[in-house]
Chain A
Amino acid sequence: MTLSAHSVSVRIGGATLLHDVSLSAQPGEVLGLLGPNGAGKSTLLSLLAGDRKADGGTVRLHGRDPRAWPAEALARVRAVMTQSASVAFDFTVREVVELARLPHAGRSSADDNRDIVAAALDLADATHLADRIYPSLSGGEKQRVQAARALAQVWSATDDAPCRFLMLDEPTASLDLRHQHGLLGAVRRFVAEGVGAVVVLHDINLAAAYCDRVALLDDGRLAACGRTRETLAVERLVDIYGVKLTAIDDGSGAPHFIVQAPPDGPRPAA
């Protein structure tokens, strides 16, 4: 168990954001966090990242509370991509991605850093944007650059811990169809090298195609957690999301879910 949460709870004011959630993420696999808006996915991710303290329960990264890690060593072990894509001031795309190498100062040479930044930009299909001014990019382009930054931060093995973690909060939210698959493909390449990934996703088809395991959150509680195939059961999804849904098996290995619009809802004219 290299990254785990043990019956964690988070309360803000009178609201319970998370209640008694336990799960673990393993090196070499993608763990998807799914659930409706407000289910607690981002809160759980921020606990795993060490951003906030749990009001109850514990979080362990390689046996230690992430909040007890020295900040720089933690940054070499895990990278986080939040939903915030804003950057103050007119940094170029390359400069933004170069920030990923801050925690490696003194441990990684300037040449290595440059190569890693270039390779990360390439993997996120953002090489052609490298000299652009970041605030001038579109939402999806920004998201690819932020993904490149997260990848560059944990690009190579570190002696701080036996394995690295990528934590991505809705990394595909603004991406077009091709880049959604491109990014999750890049994540799978990292995972093949032994990195562990925790990814918040809204698209159950992407989750079905790329996650080894998924955790389904509903109203701050863990509704189900396990192998993707078994956990993404149609009845469970219908129950949690409250939509009509069918699954198709086209032989590709991953099920496809088709969401049906409510039958009595308004429609565009035929």
Chain B
Amino acid sequence: MTSVALKAAGAARRPAAVPVLTVLAIAAGLMGLAGLALGPMRIAPLDALAALGHRLGLVASGIAQQEEAVLFAIRLPRVLLSLAVGAALAAAGAAMQGLFRNPLADPGLVGVSSGAALAAVATIVLGDKVLHVLHAWMRPWALPVAAFVGGLLATALVRRFGMRDGRASIATILLAGVAINALCGAGIGLLTFLADEQQLRSLIFWTMGSLGATTWTALPLALPLIVIPTIMLMTSTRALDAFALGEREAGHLGVDVERMKRRLFVLVALATGAAVSVCGIIGFVGLVVPHLLRLICGPGHRLVLPGAALLGGALLTAADLAARLIVAPAEMPIGVVTALVGGPFFLWLLVRRLRLSET
């Protein structure tokens, strides 16, 4: 989408990979530190660092006990999760856009988000009648596990409809995704209609996304499920570049096209499914962040994918900070923040593009 801007300049200049990634990594680190430091209880960033160092056995002295409790019990898991979820959504978005050869593709396109949402909403609304068969320790897990499984099931269904003669047809997958998303939307609408007031409240929070429920309990399972597929996406960057030429042309360059499509599909579904299952639906990150990266450093996926992951982590941590601070001590759903910032930003890009093409 940067063609117009660059055409005006006559030629494209690409920044070097290492400085861009270094700056983005520092930005993610700084946002993480801000996430640790800011909140109803201020903790000086250096104190937060010292406390982290103390925990890791690097520094001798720690900080006050109460601050330490807030830092480690509440803020640290939340910051870790926002970094991971932001990275996963942005990298998955970039991978989907590369696979679909379309800058408007989004991880939700393959049904994973709406499938997860339907399963989560079903658990919230109908769960009371079913969950009593589970042991008490299992109950907090019911929602994320149901969401994760629901997301993967919906993706598998979309993929099943998109298969023809053993080949995944990208165009059909796109259409099947639209249909499955609509069906899940209908299911969610029906369940919303059936929900009582309290269910409605938690349901709304879930469908608009929140990192507020983050605790250490879920992290050991959720973090690897989010982070490992995201890192594995980084090894497919050359194939994604080749996909830009078209599927058949990528095959001519030695890419095992069917294997690559299957691999990307599974990794995106895993990363997005795991992310959505712990913090609900967070829009716009997967769409806007890869877009920004392409604007800065061109469309090469070797830079766009890791860059989007770092920027996504930084921006989602910033969005979570905003969600916590704007209406403190209450919290806004983070999906509202990302949409509030992402929507106008996208419009600005659109207007800027039009203006440039007129000159």
Report A's interface with B, CB cutoff 8 A. 49, 51, 71-76, 79-80, 82, 84, 86-92, 95-96, 99-100, 102-103, 105, 131-133, 135-136, 153
Contacts and interface: CB of A to CB of B under 8 A. Distances in A.
The 7 closest A-B pairs by CB, nearest first: A75-B254, A89-B299, A88-B101, A131-B11, A72-B254, A103-B254, A80-B252
Given A86-B246, A133-B3, A136-B3, A51 B103 contact: no
Contacts of A71: 251, 254-256
Nearest to B2: A90
Nearest to B238: A102
A171 to B, nearest CB: 14
A136 B7 contact: yes
B287 interface: no
Interface centre among B3, B244, B252 (most CB of A within 10 A): B252
Nearest to A135: B3
Contacts of A80: 249, 252
A118 to B, nearest CB: 16
Contacts of A100: 253
14 contacts: A51-B248, A51-B252, A71-B251, A72-B254, A84-B248, A89-B101, A89-B103, A90-B294, A92-B11, A92-B14, A92-B298, A95-B300, A133-B7, A153-B253
A116 to B, nearest CB: 15
Interface residues of B, number: 32
A61 to B, nearest CB: 13
Contacts of A105: 238
Nearest to B244: A88
Q: For the complex, would chain B's binding face be called helix, strand, loop or mixed by DSSP majority?
A: loop
A96 B245 contact: yes
B118 to A, nearest CB: 31
Interface in B233-281: 238, 241-246, 248-249, 251-256
Contacts of A133: 2-3, 6-7, 12
B253 A90 contact: no
A49 B298 contact: no
Nearest to A149: B245
A88 B256 CA distance: 19
Contacts of B246: 82, 84, 86
B69 interface: no
Nearest to B100: A88
Contact of A102 (B253, B298, B300): B253
Contacts of A51: 248, 251-252
B104 to A, nearest CB: 11
B202 interface: no
B12 A87 contact: no
Contact of B12 (A86, A131, A153): A131
B3 A99 contact: no
A87 B102 CA distance: 11
A102 B254 contact: yes
A103 B254 CA distance: 6
Contacts of B299: 89-91
Contacts of B101: 88-89
Interface centre among B98, B242, B244 (most CB of A within 10 A): B244
B6 A90 contact: yes
A133 B1 CA distance: 11
Contacts of A95: 241, 298, 300
Interface centre among B6, B249, B254, B256 (most CB of A within 10 A): B254
A102 B7 contact: no
Given A51-B252, A84-B249, A88-B103, 13 more contacts: A51-B248, A71-B255, A71-B256, A75-B254, A80-B252, A88-B98, A90-B6, A92-B11, A92-B298, A95-B241, A99-B241, A102-B253, A153-B253
A75 B254 CA distance: 5
B1 A91 contact: no
Contacts of B14: 92
B251 A99 contact: no
B244 A89 contact: yes
Contacts of B294: 89-90
Given A86-B246, A132-B11, A99 B253 contact: yes
Given A131-B12, A133-B12, A136-B7, A90 B254 contact: no
B300 to A, nearest CB: 6
A28 B7 CA distance: 41
Contacts of B253: 75, 99-100, 102-103, 153
B237 to A, nearest CB: 11
A51 B249 CA distance: 10
Nearest to A84: B246
A55 B196 CA distance: 60
Nearest to B304: A89
A82 B254 CA distance: 15
Interface string B89-130: 000000000100111000000000000000000000000000
B198 to A, nearest CB: 47
Contact of A91 (B102, B254, B298): B298
B256 A87 contact: no
B27 to A, nearest CB: 24
Nearest to A103: B254
Contacts of A73: 254
A73 B253 CA distance: 10
